[in-house]
Amino acid sequence: MADASIIPAGIAGMFDLLSPNPPGWGGNLLRGLANSLQIAVGAFGMGLLIGTFGAYGKLYGGPLVRDIAAIYTTIVRAVPELVLILLLYYAGTDMINRVLEGLGYQRVDISGLVAGIVVLGFVQGAYATEVLRGAIKAIPQGEIEAARAYGMSPTLMMRRITLPAMLPHALPGLANLWLISTKDTALLAVVGFSELTLVTRQAAGTTKAYFLFFIAAGVLYLAITLFSNLILAKVEQWARRGMPSVKEAR
């Protein structure tokens, strides 16, 4: 058979290759998946943090803060993630080590996990800034004015008024960002971090069963996406409770 090496020895061979025990590569794939998920969660969380500060800076900051936030979001959203990842990955680790050496400490090895989270989080932060800024602007300004009139402190107002009121507007964008974040982890394969895509390529290259492993990884990514969609739909339903529905007329 011509394609014997592509689809190895039928179904049984496929299960052997995908089995989680050492001769099979399933365990490695799952470990890669766990790494990917860790980075995705970390980067998304960091993006949210940066995005919150960025959105507040863009809306309520002084002229200087506003300009700096604008420069940050423009550059990060215009340059390919891959280039940013390489730049921040090399430059970031190099800079930290130079600072440490300058202060008389020893060089440290920055783990791929932390570097990946920081780099992707920095990228996500730019998009999150725009999403949250739009969501805050979508709140009726009277609500915020009323909160100010009640004499709420900024933190109390954020907790009681701004955050809950903006959440339904922000969730579709944030859901999109989360999905982008799970898929962007694949880019870390290029800098040699062993997340799902890189592990898959190693497995495929070793066994020559390219289709099997790439499709298996695709199924894993797709499962994350579909599962996230389910959860996010529920969360959005909860955040929109009490609001008029915005179903399309069709």
Least distance between another protein and beta carbon 67 (Å): 6
Interacting positions 93-112 with another protein (CB under 8 A): 94
- HEC string of 168-221 equals HHHHHHHHHHHHHHHHHHHHHHHHCCCCHHHHHHHHHHHHCCHHHHHHHHHHHH
Q: Note whether 11 binds another protein by CB under 8 A.
A: no
| Token pair 């989080």 in the structure block, residue | 121
Which is closer to another protein, CB of 4 or CB of 146?
4
Strands, E assignment, 50-167:
none
Q: Give dist(CA 62, CA 73) in Å, integer.
A: 17
Contact with another protein (CB under 8 A): which of 55, 120, 132, 189? Answer: 189
Which is closer to another protein, CB of 117 or CB of 180?
180
Residue 187 DSSP code:
G
Which is closer to another protein, CB of 3 or CB of 109?
3
Contacts of residue 165, defined as CB under 8 A and 6 or more positions apart, other chains included, come to 139, 143
Which is closer to another protein, CB of 124 or CB of 200?
200
Residue closest to 112 by CA, chosen among 199, 192, 42, 52: 192
Strands, E assignment, 9-101:
none
Q: Note whether 217 binds another protein by CB under 8 A.
A: yes
| Span near another protein by CB under 8 A; candidates 11-19, 59-67, 151-159, 234-242 | 59-67
Q: Which residues of this chain interact with another protein, rule CB under 8 A?
A: 2-3, 5-6, 63-64, 67-68, 71, 75, 77-84, 86-87, 90-91, 94, 179, 183-187, 189-190, 197, 200-201, 204-205, 208, 210-211, 214-215, 217-218, 221-222, 225-226, 248, 250
